Amino acid sequence: MTNPARLFLSTLRHYPGRTAFGVLFVLAILLMQAAQAQTFSVIHYFSGGDDGGFSTAGLTMDRAGRLYGTAAGGGSFAGQYCPDGCGVVFRLVQAPAGWVVEPLYVFQGDDPAKGLSPYAPITFGPDGNLYGTTMSGGNPRCYAGCGTVFRLTPPASACKNALCPWTETVIHTFGSGSDGTAPLYGALLFDAAGNIYGTTTAGGAYNRGTVYELTPSQGGWTETILHSFAGAGDGSSPWSSLIFDQQGNLYGTALSGGDLSCDFSQGCGTVFELSPSGSGWTETTLYTFEMNTDVGFNPEGWLLFDGSGNLYGTVPAGGTHQGSVYELQPSGGSWTASPLAQFMGNGGPVAGLTMDASGNLYGTTAASGAYYHGSVFKLAKQGGTWQLTTLHSFDVEGHEGDELHGGVLRDAHGNLFGTASQGGSGPCVHGCGSIWEITP
């Protein structure tokens, strides 16, 4: 729980010219936030070593309650393409004395063909193995490699210590030309048949990103490009994950493209749908973000469906303040967007949202919050309106963490978990980041 005395001292330190009434008013707000907050704790500080550093992905949990994640930096090897380390896949196991980090695989810069710098979350495959992507490494056609899709397999026999590495297999290497390059924050998505779907931020027919499918075939995997983004009407540079609806259509966001008024004519971004047909997949732009609206622009995070078929997402910029949570509702063959919450600070929500059984939404902001180091928030619908509650603002010094690029993982007990990509401790320039927990 946040300490009210600490909040008061922080208020005095950061607002030294304010009147006593003004300070008391701010303190009252902070005390209200503290009363609403749950118990926050940092369960791991990344060191930049084999436990990793700069984790942007958020976490995944298995049935035993163990946490899995990736770190884009750290590891035992630093080389030409990754001077701060080439990245790690890790697991956290809860022990009587707390959470223990187990490095499962450390990416090696002296063998870039196996991939470098995993930015995306880990996905559990139907075979029980772990799957993920690296932004670089693989095909040397790109400067640092065009990226990979990998599988991690546990050891065949039980390990005698916690540092027994898993076996990595690269199941696809990007960079043959039009097949896409540089997968970023998007987790891989499996369908019922075991096919994999994902996005790349670049490459494709127009070098503006792709949606791809990997199909298991004769012991290997065959890639099919489902859509190459062209930039203007359909969007450009999808950064995040895809989701299915009940009919098997794919939905996602593109960071740019669409309305070209944003970001030096790069575009404000889109929401898209891909529908399977006899001749392939058909792309439809459901919504085009614009600069001068309350919704905001340049979506980086994934989408989320509710039980009524409405879509929810986030944008880190624009709107009336600094990014928003938005809802898309189908209406007469089109989709209508409305902002549910607005954020202030240096950076709104980057990741997508998590929904509980009651329909409440949970998310993170990159650099908003009381001290502009990021926050964890909850949106609850009450009386037809959405009420925003800040569950935790990361501390003013950034000791708890900073720059939250991953989303919120919620377990069956209502505990929330996530990562901060910077802050904390370690030899990294801005801190190596942390893993945090909020308990009811």
Residue 29 has pLDDT above 70, yes or no: no
User: How large is the average pLDDT for residues 101-117?
Assistant: 92
Q: Say how far apart CA 99 and CA 101 lie, in whole Å.
A: 7
DSSP for 311-378 reads EEEEESB-TTTT-EEEEEEEETTEEEEEEEEE--BS----S--EE-TT--EEEEESSBSTTSS-EEEE
Q: What confidence score (pLDDT) does residue 162 get?
A: 57
Tally of CB atoms within 10 A around 46: 31
| Torsion, Cα of 73, 76, 77, 81 (10° steps) | 0
Task: Compute and round to an integer the Cα radius of gyration of the chain.
Answer: 21
How far, in Å, CA of 117 to CA of 75, rounded?
A: 10
So what's the pLDDT on residue 234?
92
CA pseudo-torsion sign 427, 147, 349, 299: positive
Q: How many CA atoms lie within 13 A of 316 on its CB side?
A: 24
Strands 416-420 vs 196-200: parallel, antiparallel or unpaired: unpaired
The pTM assigned to this predicted structure is: 0.89
pLDDT at 295 over 50: yes
At 94 the three-state DSSP class reads strand
Res 24 pLDDT > 70: no
Residue 312, pLDDT above cutoff 90: yes
Cα 177 to its chain centre, rounded Å, is 27
Q: What is the mean pLDDT of the chain?
A: 88
Q: Which whole number is the average pLDDT over 376-397?
A: 93
Residue 143: pLDDT band with limits 50, 70, 90: confident
Given the structure tokens 């607002």, which residue do they identify? 15
Cα–Cα distance between 322 and 242 in angstroms, integer?
Answer: 25
Q: Rounded distance, CA 252 to CA 54, Å?
A: 25
pLDDT by residue (tens digit) across 322-355?
A: 899 999 999 888 999 999 999 987 789 999 999 9
- 27-41, 263-277, 357-371, 412-426: segment of lowest average pLDDT: 27-41
Please give the DSSP secondary-structure letter assigned to residue 89: E
CA angle 238, 244, 245 (to 5 degrees): 130
CA 233 to chain CA centroid, nearest Å = 25
Residues contacting 242, CB < 8 A, separation 6+? 186, 189, 197, 198, 199, 211, 250, 251, 252, 302
